[in-house]
Amino acid sequence: MNFSEYFPVFSKLTKQEQLALTDSVTLRKMKKGTVIHGGDEECLGLLVIRSGQLRSFIFSEEGREITVYRLFDHDICLFTASCVMKSIQFDVTVSAEKDTDAWIVPIGVYQRLMENSAVIANYTNEIMASRFTDVMWLVEQIMWKSFDKRLADFLAEECIIEETDILRITHEQIASHLGTAREVVTRMLRYFQSEGIVKLMRGSIRIIDMEKLSDMSR
């Protein structure tokens, strides 16, 4: 097991604390589309991602989804252990965007470590601060950035994540990420196509002019 390589503060813990972690963690394989944590469900525990991709999102009152942030290899998913974070007052759903392998630290073990280890407590606070920054960035995007720029930014980011200029993603999926209606996405993508930025294909989008797309997102 190479869990210690994926948990940044492992080497700073006492031998007893290290043993408590390595003896309790389990590796779980999650298929693409699996809902790992949903709103007010019982806490699963702390997730340490070995490989894959997770999406954290919330629902509006109208039932629309909007992505809060995404997690990749070596990232820590704190919201699946939110029951030990008394300051977290909103429901977040976490699902697997790709087949994902992740270590799970049981909630009881992690809670005891937080209570007894300043290293773990400080590390947890750092993660919470980082996620709060993600949420504030999202709020700023929604409030102050026009939708064409948000869409262009999303498409450019997807190209980086997937390492390709052909994105196999539906308009409905994009709408879920950006918290809007599919029709709004389709209308804007057709505008992008008329400007020679993208080419719309069945079930996918090809980026034709990345420079224009980048300019559009600014």
Q: Domain map of the chain by residue range?
A: 3-143, 145-217
In tens, the pLDDT along 100-133 reads 999 999 999 999 999 999 999 999 989 988 988 9
* Strand spans (E) along the chain: 26-30, 35-38, 46-59, 65-71, 76-77, 93-105, 166-167, 198-201, 204-207
Residues 3-143, CATH architecture: Sandwich (2.60)
Type of residue numbered 119: V
Q: What is the mean pLDDT of the chain?
A: 91
pLDDT tier for residue 217 given thresholds of 50, 70 and 90:
confident
Residue 48 and residue 191: Cα distance in Å, rounded? Answer: 40
Residues 145-217, CATH architecture: Orthogonal Bundle (1.10)
In tens, the pLDDT along 7-41 reads 999 999 999 999 999 999 999 999 999 999 886 66
pLDDT of 38? 82
Using CB atoms within 10 Å of the CB of residue 139, give its burial: 0 to 12 exposed, 13 to 18 middle, 19+ buried: exposed
Q: What integer is the mean pLDDT of 38-63?
A: 86
User: Would you say 185 and 171 are in contact if contact means Cβ atoms under 8 Å apart?
Assistant: yes
Residue 210 and residue 49: Cα distance in Å, rounded? Answer: 30
